[in-house]
Chains A and B, each alone.
Chain A
Amino acid sequence: MKAPPIPGDEPQRLAALRRYGLLDTPPEKVFDDLTALAAHVCQTPIALISLVDSERQWFKSSFGPFPAETERSCSFCGHAVFDGQLLVVCDATRDERFTGNPLVAGEQEIRFYASTPLVTYDGYALGTLCVMDRRPREISPQQIEMLCALGRQVMNQMELRLRISEQERIEKQLAESAELRRAILDSANYSIISCRPDGIIRAMNAAAERWLGTRNEDVEGKQTPEIFHDPCEIERRSTELAGELGRPIPPGFSALVAKAELGVTDEREWTYITAQGHRFPVLLSTTSLRSTTGEITGFLFIASDITERKEVELAKNEFVSVVSHELRTPLTSIRGSLGLIEGGAVGEVPPKMVRLVEIARANTDRLVRLINDILDLAKIEAGKLELQMLPLDPAELVTEAVAEINGMADQFRVRLAWHSDPSWIDHRPSLLGDRDRLLQVLINLLSNAIKVSPPDSVVETRVEAAGGASVRISVRDQGPGIPAHELGRIFGKFQQIDSSDTRARGGTGLGLAISKAIVDEHGGTIGIETEEHKGSTFWFEIPLPRDEWALAPDNAGLQLWRVLVVAGPGMPPAVAADLASCGFHLERAGTLAEARARLTEAPPDALLLDPLLAGARDLRADLHRDPRTAWLPVIQRPADLAQLRGALQRAVRPPGEPRVLLVDAGTGARQALIEMLRSEGLEPMPANDGGSALEIARRRPPDLIILDAELPGMNGQALVQELRHSRLCATPLLVYTSHDLSAEEHRLLRLGPTSFLVKGRATERELLGTILELLGDVGAVR
Chain B
Amino acid sequence: MTLRKILLVDDEADIRLVAEISLSNLGGWQVIQAASGPEALDLAAQELPDLVLLDVMMPGMDGPTALQKLRGLAGGAEVPVIFMTAKVQRAEIDRLLSLGVRGLIPKPFDPMTLPAEIRRILGA
Contact = CB atoms under 8 A, between A and B. Distances in A.
Contact of B108 (A331, A340, A342, A346): A331
A143 interface: no
B112 A343 contact: yes
Interface stretch (A321-329, A651-659, A719-727): A321-329
A372 B88 contact: yes
A325 B87 contact: yes
Given A335-B108, A340-B22, A368-B108, A375 B12 contact: no
A46 B14 CA distance: 121
A669 interface: no
A329 B111 contact: no
Contact of A325 (B15, B26, B86): B86
Nearest to A321: B89
A336 B18 contact: yes
A333 B16 CA distance: 9
Max chain A C-beta neighbours (<10 A), residue from B18, B19, B109: B18
Contacts of B111: 336, 339-340, 343, 345
B12 A332 contact: yes
Contacts of A328: 86, 88, 107-108
B25 A336 contact: no
A337 interface: yes
A496 B112 CA distance: 31
B86 A346 contact: no
A336 B86 contact: no
Contacts of A332: 12, 15, 18, 86, 107-109
Nearest to A361: B110
Contacts of B91: 386
Interface size class, chain B? 20 to 34
Nearest to B13: A333
A529 B2 CA distance: 55
Contacts of A375: 88-89
A329 B15 contact: yes
B18 A333 contact: yes
Interface string B1-27: 000000000001011001101100110
Contact of B112 (A329, A340, A364): A340
B101 interface: no
Max chain B C-beta neighbours (<10 A), residue from A335, A339, A372: A339
A501 to B, nearest CB: 25
A337 B14 CA distance: 9
B119 to A, nearest CB: 17
B57 interface: yes
A332 B15 CA distance: 7
Given A332-B107, A332-B109, A340 B18 contact: yes
Contacts of B87: 321, 324-325
B21 A329 contact: no
Given A325-B57, A345-B21, A336 B88 contact: no
B19 A336 contact: yes
Given A325-B57, A332-B107, A332-B108, A345 B25 contact: yes
Interface in A640-672: none
B21 A346 contact: yes
Contacts of B108: 328, 331-332, 334-336, 364, 368
Contacts of B89: 321, 375, 379
A339 B109 CA distance: 9
Interface in B72-113: 86-92, 107-112
Contacts of A334: 108
Max chain A C-beta neighbours (<10 A), residue from B19, B26, B87, B88: B88
A550 B5 CA distance: 58
A196 B14 CA distance: 67
A355 B22 CA distance: 21
A364 B87 CA distance: 17
Contacts of A346: 21, 25
A329 B12 contact: yes
A342 B111 CA distance: 11
A369 to B, nearest CB: 11
Given A339-B112, A345-B26, A346-B21, A333 B12 contact: yes
Contacts of B109: 332, 335-336
Contacts of B88: 324, 328, 372, 375
A321 B22 CA distance: 28
Contact of A340 (B12, B21, B57): B21
B23 to A, nearest CB: 11
A279 to B, nearest CB: 21
B18 A329 contact: no
B6 to A, nearest CB: 16
Max chain A C-beta neighbours (<10 A), residue from B12, B22, B107: B107
Interface in A126-174: none
A379 B107 CA distance: 20
Interface string A360-373: 00001000100010
A338 to B, nearest CB: 9
A138 to B, nearest CB: 105
A372 B88 CA distance: 8
A328 B18 CA distance: 15
A335 B22 CA distance: 13
A488 B111 CA distance: 42
A331 B12 CA distance: 12
A336 B57 contact: no
Nearest to B112: A343
A84 B22 CA distance: 112
A335 B113 CA distance: 13
A329 B110 contact: no
A372 B90 CA distance: 12
B14 A333 contact: yes
Nearest to A364: B108
Nearest to B84: A332
A562 to B, nearest CB: 32
Max chain A C-beta neighbours (<10 A), residue from B25, B109, B110, B111: B111
B95 to A, nearest CB: 13
B39 to A, nearest CB: 19
Interface in B18-71: 18-19, 21-22, 25-26, 57
Interface of B: 12, 14-15, 18-19, 21-22, 25-26, 57, 86-92, 107-112
6 contacts: A325-B86, A329-B107, A332-B12, A333-B15, A336-B19, A340-B21
Name the 10 nearest CB pairs between A and B, nearest first.
A336-B18, A328-B86, A333-B14, A335-B108, A343-B112, A332-B108, A332-B107, A325-B86, A336-B111, A339-B111
Given A340-B18, A340-B22, 12 more contacts: A324-B86, A328-B107, A332-B12, A332-B18, A333-B12, A335-B108, A336-B15, A336-B18, A336-B19, A336-B22, A339-B111, A345-B112
